[in-house]
Amino acid sequence: MNNTVTTSIVDDVAVVQIDNPPVNALSHGVPEGLMAAIAEAEANPAVRAIVILGAGRTFVAGADIKDLEAAAWNSSVEPPDIHDLLARVEDATKPVVIAIHGTALGGGLELAMAAHYRVAVPDARVGLPEANLGIIPGAEGTQRLPRLVGVERAIDMIVTGKLFPVSDAHEWGLIDHIIDSAGRSSGSAADALRAGAVAFAHDVAGRGPHQKTRERGDKLGTPAENAPLFEAGRQLAKKVRPNQTAPATALEAIEAATTMPFDRGRRRERELAIGSVRSPQCRALVHAFMAERAVAKVPGVTDAPAAANLPAVEEVAIIGAGTMGSGIAMACANAGLRVVLTDASQERLDAGFAALRKNYDSSVKRGRLTSADVEKRLALVKGAVGYDACASADVVIEAVFEQMALKQQIFAALDGVAKPGAMLATNTSMLDIDAIASGTRRPESVVGLHFFSPAHVMRLVEIVRGSATSVATIASALALAKKLGKVGVVVKNSTGFVGNRMMLPYMYEAQFLVEDGATPEQVDRVLTTFGMAMGIFAVDDLGGLDVAWRIRKELNQFSEPGARRPLVADALVEMNRLGQKTGKGWYKYEGGRTPIPDADTTAVIDRVTAGAGIRRRRVEDDEIRERTIYALINEGARLLEEGVAMRAADIDVIYLTGYGFPGFRGGPMFHADKVGLPKILERVSAFHRELGERWKPAPLLERLVKEGRTFRDYDAGLMP
């Protein structure tokens, strides 16, 4: 036995506990420990049943993702294989009961399905989220799940990768018993789980024989019954995971469960699982998982003494009840924080509350919240005109127009109102944090919290560190993002920070491609085929063409001699074709949100380019993909070198969580490594020669190529 698995005997039940923080992953040593514990319990005549449970916050979150990562990158490393453990559990001579709290995920649920019984506390959840990592459930999950819940449900669980409440799982036959601790007057939830599981195990010990899942076939259906279910599964995969390979592979494995005896089926699953682990998509998605967790750790901030004792955040004041302000209010109320939403007039405040109410109503319509939930959340939000109501807030978030003078005026006023130590945040997406902070006597408390629209939905928050922002303020901002269920990425103050600074060259390159001869719909098709959630022209129409137009003016962009200006975009704004809000932009909209290609846009493009002497030509899809995606990457390399982004992986997280970059490509910088930096540099250099200075290769890109290194090496500190 090892120290991650320990056994205690309670009455006639052996309680085997897995203690492998933080989430009891099945790392090396855990399966071995469990097998030894089962052998010992079988040999002990005083034991009649075995309970397996997890210590700490959860049951088992699956295979250790670090082991998966090692196997994904190195073909001489075997992917985790727990077949021996599963067989040992299922063939145990005494009944094995798995007791679930927190979550049973991936290999954790697969272990549970090999046991004879599964019990859980009411708030536990279960799922097979392997597809999120680009792999299939490879510990016999594709074989046992359809036996327990039927083929249709198994397909849904595995393709979506969703987590389900145990009440559902109980209904489907996946969980045998829910431990109701409501009547208990004392003791912790862990005590309730342990006591409930022991009582259940004691009870079933006398019953026998104990069903082995692998011997069941009653829910597997016939080929004729299953054919339409697999077809529906393929359609579902296309819809929820477009371009991803793991769901189709998983369907093949589930199909094997329905056509082969268990042992052959599980061998087929293993072959398919190994293929999925070795896939580029697995590498990319595991990178995305790890990177998302790595951004929460900022050297010099989260490990600093100041981060150990942060003041609690209970109340947030928001200045500006527009789209962003009311979205942020909703995000805060959803996290249980008290909110004071303020604006300069009652009229604007009323509009903000109306927007808040509308968003909540749509959550109710979609079945995400009950009316009672909504009322509880709305009760947390109070309205006020003027700044005085910000006095009791722990955090003040300014979310007004992008106008420096107005923001400076607000921060100066806040200085006199906000309580000492309060975080003073601005939701600016472009402006200089230091200039905003300069009007206060407490620039150390000023930070950028760049939320993305709609703020109650989008997961990304860029946390912008000004030159005076204190370590405690940054640490508090990270903690706040986590509390809101968002991914906070710390970046340095710079025009457009990371996300928007990369976005502009990407967007303008797309516009130049259209001027050169492509169409908006061709560019958008190439980008969505690449995997972007939306095409850039559809995005521009959604946000409004006037946004970038204002930025062009405010920043005096394209003023350097010889710079190419986006002429068509300017012309569309001048014609008041601002996008969805005016019914026309790059596309036209007929009442809905669906972009429809518009002959009038083509006419504008023809007129403007002819006037500028641009000879339009046929533009191939490859050129579109390279000029847009490589523009992102080249700018990303500059941001890294300037220290605006700390790590290449931070840029990836920003693009994955805020800009619709496809997870299965791991983010722009990860994608660059995969394409190969020499190839990227070669194309960027060619564009530099053909298209001008905007394509000047980033010095870091040149350096990495010269040294034969990647962005991943750069992050690992592997620079010579």
Q: Which residues lie near ligand 3H9 (CB under 6 A)?
A: 22-23, 25, 58, 61-66, 68, 80, 82, 103, 105-107, 110, 129-130, 132-133, 137-139, 141, 293
Continuous segment of H or E residues that includes residue 16: strand 13-18
Query: Given the complex with ligand 3H9, which of 460 and 684 has the nearer CB atom?
Result: 460
Distance CA 246, CA 506 (A): 30
- Whole-number Å distance between alpha carbons of 11 and 460: 50
How many alpha carbons fall within 13 Å on the CB side of residue 51?
Answer: 29
List all residues 6 or more positions away from 186 whose beta carbon is below 8 Å from its beta carbon: none
Q: What is the DSSP string of 96-155?
A: EEEEE-SEEETHHHHHHHHSSEEEE-TT-EEE-GGGGGT---TTTHHHHHHHHH-HHHHH
Give the residue carrying structure tokens 């393929």.
234
- Residue in 537, 506, 498 with CA at minimum distance from that of residue 628: 506
Q: What is the DSSP letter of 581?
A: G
Query: For ligand 3H9, which is the closer residue by CB, 67 or 626?
Result: 67
- Altogether, the residues listed in the chain come to a count of 720
User: Residue 444 is encoded by which pair of tokens?
Assistant: 């150390």
Q: Of 601, 617, 627, 611, nearest to 684 (Cα)?
A: 627
- In DSSP terms, which residues pair with 492 in a beta bridge? 465
Cα–Cα distance for residue pair 206/209, rounded to 1 Å: 9
Radius of gyration of the chain measured on its C-alpha atoms: 28
Minimum CB separation of residue 144 from ligand 3H9 in Å reads: 11
Cross-strand bridge partners of residue 432: none
Secondary structure element (H or E) that encloses residue 34, with its range: helix 30-43
CA dihedral angle for residue 581, residue 582, residue 585, residue 589, rounded to 10 degrees: 80
25/166 with CB nearer ligand 3H9: 25
Pick 66 or 706: Cβ nearer ligand 3H9? 66
Of the residues 32, 78, 90, 110, only one is catalytic, namely 110
Q: How far apart are CA 401 and CA 426, in angstroms?
A: 11
Distance between CA atoms of residues 480 and 469, nearest Å:
16
Cβ neighbors of 227 (< 8 A, separation 6 or more) are none
**Strand bridging mode 163-165 / 125-127:** antiparallel
Nearer to ligand 3H9, 487 or 698 (CB): 487
- Strand, coil or helix: 413: helix
Which residue type, as a one-letter code, is found at position 163? L
Closest CA to 661 of 634, 683, 633: 633
Query: Which burial class, exposed, middle or buried, applies to 693 when counting CB atoms under 10 A from its CB (0-12, 13-18, 19+)?
Result: exposed
Q: How many helices (H) and strands (E) does the chain have?
A: 30, 17
- Residue 562 Cα to chain centre, angstroms: 40
**Euclidean distance between CA atoms 469 and 451, whole angstroms:** 18
Residue 513 token pair: 């491609």
- Both tokens of residue 427? 């939701």
Nearer to ligand 3H9, 483 or 525 (CB): 483
Structure tokens at 525: 């098709």
Q: What angle do CA 561, 566, 570 make, to 5 degrees?
A: 115
In the complex, the smallest distance separating the C-beta of residue 102 from ligand 3H9, rounded to whole angstroms, is 7
Active site annotation includes 130? yes
CA proximity to 633, closest of 678, 670, 590: 670
Of residues 90, 130, 255, 509, which has the active-site annotation?
Answer: 130
The C-alpha atoms of residue 224 and residue 218 are separated, in whole angstroms, by 15
Q: How far apart are CA 323 and CA 345, in angstroms?
A: 15
Q: How far apart are CA 4 and CA 34, in angstroms?
A: 9
CB nearer ligand 3H9, residue 66 or residue 696: 66
**Residue 110 a catalytic site member:** yes
Report yes or no: 192 and 184 within 8 Å, Cβ to Cβ.
yes
Beta carbon nearer to ligand 3H9, 269 or 521 = 269
Active site residues: 110, 130
